A and B are shown apart, each in its own frame.
Chain A
Amino acid sequence: MDLSYTEDQKAFRAEARDWLAQHVPAQPLKSFDTQEGFLQHREWEATLNEGRWGMVTWPEELGGRACDLIEWLIFEEEYYRVRAPLRVNQNGIFLLGPTLMEYGTEEQKARILPKMASGEEVWAQGWSEPNAGSDMAAIRSTAVLDGDHYVINGQKTWSTRAVWADWAFCMFRTDPDSQRHRGLTFILVPLDSPGITVRPIPQLDGLPGFAEIFFDNVKVHVSNRLGDEGAGWSVAMATAGFERGLMLRSPARFQETARRLVDLYKENRASADNDPAVKEAVLRAYMEAESYCLSTYQTACRLTQGGKIGAESSTNKIFWSELDQNMHATAMNILGARAELLPHAPDASGVGRWLDGWLFSQSGPIYAGTNEIQRNIIAERMLGMPR
């Protein structure tokens, strides 16, 4: 065990810090759930990609730096330290990207990954259906092979960013006689295909952050199938593994929230201490964010030495989503009567971006597999309790 950074790692941090200092927009971008904000964020992705900071873990020929997980954690720390823009293409780069590298053909990788990395093509996810949420194996939307095309019919929902995105990675039932997780196929769909209707769904903040996608005899070329026909479930599980695991929510984000929470508490200490639970909650925020960081480094070191991530990745999802919710709940309590005010309200002094964060934190325990599903996975696969 040696918990110090190597000279190379220190140099990498310095390089990232330097580049970010020069390139991160001085003014926060508008929400990527608005047309204007989406375009700003897409442009930011292009800037990142030009600096080869878009996907540092990707191979160099795809515009990455072939970084290991420790360097990736370092980059994330620098990224969140300066509050750089959120990643508008996160479903693509963090979820589909790694899956494509594992399951995609050479043609697919060459066609899809560079445009994903540059932000030229932004990706949405199309898995959930009105009657297939936590029970994802209940998917009913169909894809029927007709010559060199699939003909797709049905409906997807809760597709994040689908209002603005260019593509969606979806799961359809290709075998009409199949049950449950057999007979599903992973298909990549251009969202401008004839027969597609995207209906925005306003989120808690009123913005169309996700959408329903309706498919009416949509033709998709067979070259957009990822993995074999009928193998969609195992391809999807690989994606879900990445999603639950390290990539989606690195510790830096939560450590920065904890740091800002400490500052908020110190700025408002006199009133905050009227509620004796607040100080304890701030203390807990710091300790849990640190725990998440330490634990992630420990896992990352294990993985870089050839270990595999197992069912314990489900503990990760529960831990950070509840931490995020608790930290923002504490900030709301510190802000008191100001907490409900939108940031541009005339008397909303000192509210920062806490309200946005509070709203978003409500979704953490729900998306990427609800925390109830994660608890089932932990109990059954990690602890070995009976089904």
Chain B
Amino acid sequence: MDFTFSEDQLLFRESVRDFLLNEVTPEKIRASWEMEDGRDPALWQQIAEMGLSGITVPEEYGGLGMNELDFVLLAQECGYVALPEPLVHTALVAVPMLKELGGDLAAQWLPKIATGEAKVVVGLEQNLLVEDAHTADLLILQKGTDLFIVTPDQVTLRHNESIDPSRKLYAVEIDAAVEPFATGEQAGALASAALNRGALGCAAQALGLAQRMIDITVEYTGERQQFGKPIGSFQAVKHAMANIAVRLEYAKAPVHKAAYAISQGQSVAVINVSHAKLMACEAAKLAAKNTIQAHGAMGYTWEVDLHIFMKKAWALANTWGDTGFHKARVADYIFSDDAQLGAGTTF
């Protein structure tokens, strides 16, 4: 029993954290909102050069050959900076999907993902819209019970604006002539695995987002003075912040357990992922609620950076399976007759 990350995993996290804090500042995120497609090719190239776009790509295809557990701390860091680029999507959803598909598809696309030349996105029935479809070179789409693998020339995109300007969402219509790549059980299994990984990505990012909102607000309430004191010295403010810290603290281990279960191919991963996503997104939503309050009217403005993180937290809570979907999955399990509950059943 060892529920800790390795030195290597922790060191990698540190270097990625430093990189992201330097390169993905709130100023740069705001600048990306002004760009045509909202994405920065130079940043994506840097991400690729660090090995991050190919982190889960097997070494034979030029990647780092790491797994979901290796990536989960990095996904938290992506959340901490609210990275607009689809790194979590690439590493946790697209690459594992291509690995499972294998064959020519894997051989053709995985090396290009590792070098940063190509982006691949996945859109499931559970997703209302497809993230980052506009800059994708290949799209893997679940429609009903079929799975389609298509290039941009085979689809028509309809942009849907999100309240989070960093999120680029598209309805994707596939040309009628395109045949499904997989159907039935095979398509369902691929989609279900992708959904779990996407949900894990949301959960991990939510941890980072919650921590960032705490940090921003601790700084702000330490400076902002009313009644002759920093407002952060008032218990009403402190306790609201402490409540976030408590919820966040107890959301971390479930996320790490879910990453471990996925990386080990455990069947309990399905329940672990839903549990993790619900706990982590709840912590992030509480962070959003209590930190906007601590900022007072400033929190309600476009000018203060808080909303960059707040809006992403709101969105992630209901994407890759909304709260109803994930609660139902956990509830169906614990109320079933073969559920393993109680002391000594967790591992």
Contact = CB atoms under 8 A, between A and B. Distances in A.
Interface of A: 1-6, 9, 13, 70, 74, 76-78, 80-81, 251-253, 255-256, 258-259, 262, 265-266, 279-280, 282-283, 286-288, 290-295, 297-298, 300-302, 305, 312, 315, 318-319, 372, 374-376, 378-380, 382-387
Contacts of B2: 1-3, 301
A290 B275 contact: yes
A6 B1 CA distance: 7
A259 B344 contact: no
B243 interface: yes
Contact of A295 (B229, B250, B341, B347): B250
B1 A4 contact: yes
Nearest to A387: B233
Contact of B331 (A78, A283, A295): A283
Given A4-B1, A386-B232, 5 more contacts: A2-B2, A3-B3, A255-B346, A301-B4, A379-B238
Given A283-B334, A383-B245, A297 B3 contact: yes
A216 to B, nearest CB: 38
Contact of B330 (A258, A286, A305, A383): A286
A385 B275 CA distance: 31
Contacts of A283: 327, 330-331, 334
Task: Say what secondary structure dominates the interface of chain B.
Answer: helix
B245 A380 contact: no
A78 B342 CA distance: 10
12 contacts: A255-B343, A259-B343, A266-B335, A294-B254, A372-B235, A375-B242, A375-B243, A376-B235, A378-B245, A379-B232, A385-B241, A386-B229
A255 B331 CA distance: 16
Contacts of A77: 343-344
Contacts of B233: 385-387
B65 interface: no
A365 to B, nearest CB: 12
Given A292-B250, A318-B246, A385-B222, A376 B238 contact: yes
Nearest to B328: A283
A297 B235 CA distance: 31
Contacts of B347: 3-5, 297
Among B6, B237, B250, B279, chain A packs the most CB atoms within 10 A around the CB of B250
Contacts of B252: 295, 298
Interface string B1-16: 1111110000000000
B69 A1 contact: yes
A255 B249 contact: no
A151 B343 CA distance: 48
A294 B6 CA distance: 18
Interface in B220-243: 221-222, 229-230, 232-233, 235, 237-239, 241-243
Nearest to B278: A287
A293 B346 contact: yes
B239 A262 contact: no
B334 A286 contact: yes
Contacts of B254: 287, 290-291, 294-295
Contacts of A300: 3
A124 to B, nearest CB: 28
B234 to A, nearest CB: 9
A371 to B, nearest CB: 9
Contacts of B214: 383
A1 B5 contact: yes
A293 to B, nearest CB: 5
Contacts of B246: 315, 318-319, 378
A262 B334 contact: yes
Nearest to A6: B1
A301 B1 contact: yes
B44 interface: no
Contacts of A81: 342-344
A187 to B, nearest CB: 33
A91 B328 CA distance: 41
Contact of B238 (A298, A301, A375): A375
Given A280-B327, A376-B238, A378-B245, A3 B335 contact: no
**Closest 4 pairs between A and B when the two form their complex, measured CB to CB:** A379-B238, A259-B342, A294-B253, A252-B343
B241 A383 contact: yes
B3 A298 contact: yes
Contact of B341 (A262, A291, A294): A262
Interface string B180-208: 00000000000000000000000000000
A301 B250 contact: no
Nearest to A287: B275
